[in-house]
């Protein structure tokens, strides 16, 4: 009976060991499977930044893409870029972040261009034609570094006439030095499609 009990214990131990060893692997497999659909911020977590700091990250990305000034009209897309490929959906830009971007002179208003791609230039109410800018969530890379995706789409006004459609997306990695966010690296993203 003692020998039979030892065999039962050994079998039970082997089964439990196999189960406990497989559980983390199964969990990793699920995370990796879910992560396969992530096009923006894959493997990174959201940065916990106050609205003012988030707006400064977005401003630094915008200034890396454009010569921001009074002659350029930039409007904010009301939704963040989705984590998945494509441009449909996305969470709303927090109102305090949108207000900070406007106060800092980065954007002059908002525009929600119709979905359907960059084949036709969107029409927005503004003083002059320009670009609708859209940001992803801010992703933490290290203690003083973040990553953000930035997309821009040309728009016309009701009275400006038609311009050639243009849309691009870039990914920026930024570092914080003394409270100032600076772009350290950038890459152009291929056209994002679902």
At 163 the pLDDT is 85
Specify the number of domains making up the chain. Answer: 2
Residues 50, 78 share a domain: yes
Q: Are residues 95 and 126 in the same domain?
A: yes
The verdict on 25 and 81 lying in the same domain is: no
Same domain, 146 and 89: yes
Measuring CA to CA, how many Å separate 78 from each of 66, 99, 132? 20, 12, 10
Residue 193 lies in a domain: no
Residues 14 and 77 in one domain: no
Q: Which domain holds residue 24?
A: 1-36
Per DSSP, the residues of 64-78 read HHS--STT--EEE-S
Residue 49 domain flag: yes
Same domain, 62 and 100: yes
Average pLDDT over residues 32-55: 83
Q: What is the pLDDT of residue 169?
A: 94
Mean pLDDT, rounded, of the chain:
81
Residue 126 main-chain phi, psi, to 5 deg: -160, 170
At residue 36, the pLDDT reads: 64
């Amino acid at each position: 009976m003692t020998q039979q009990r030892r065999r039962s214990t050994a079998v039970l131990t082997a089964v439990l060991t196999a189960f406990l060893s497989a559980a983390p692997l199964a969990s990793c497999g699920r995370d990796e499977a879910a992560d396969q659909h992530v096009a923006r911020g894959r493997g990174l977590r959201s940065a916990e930044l106050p609205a003012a700091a988030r707006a400064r990250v977005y401003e630094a990305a915008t200034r890396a893409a454009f010569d921001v000034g009074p002659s350029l009209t930039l409007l904010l897309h009301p939704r963040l870029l989705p984590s998945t490929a494509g441009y449909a959906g996305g969470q709303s830009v927090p109102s305090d972040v949108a207000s900070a971007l406007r106060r800092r002179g980065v954007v002059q208003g908002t525009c929600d261009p119709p979905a359907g791609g960059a084949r036709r230039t969107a029409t927005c109410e503004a003083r002059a034609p320009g670009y609708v800018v859209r940001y992803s969530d801010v992703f933490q890379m290290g203690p003083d570094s973040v990553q953000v995706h930035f997309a821009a789409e040309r728009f016309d006004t009701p009275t400006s006439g038609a311009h050639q459609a243009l849309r691009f997306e870039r990914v920026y990695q930024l570092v914080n030095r003394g409270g100032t966010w600076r772009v350290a690296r950038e890459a152009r993203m291929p056209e994002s499609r679902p």
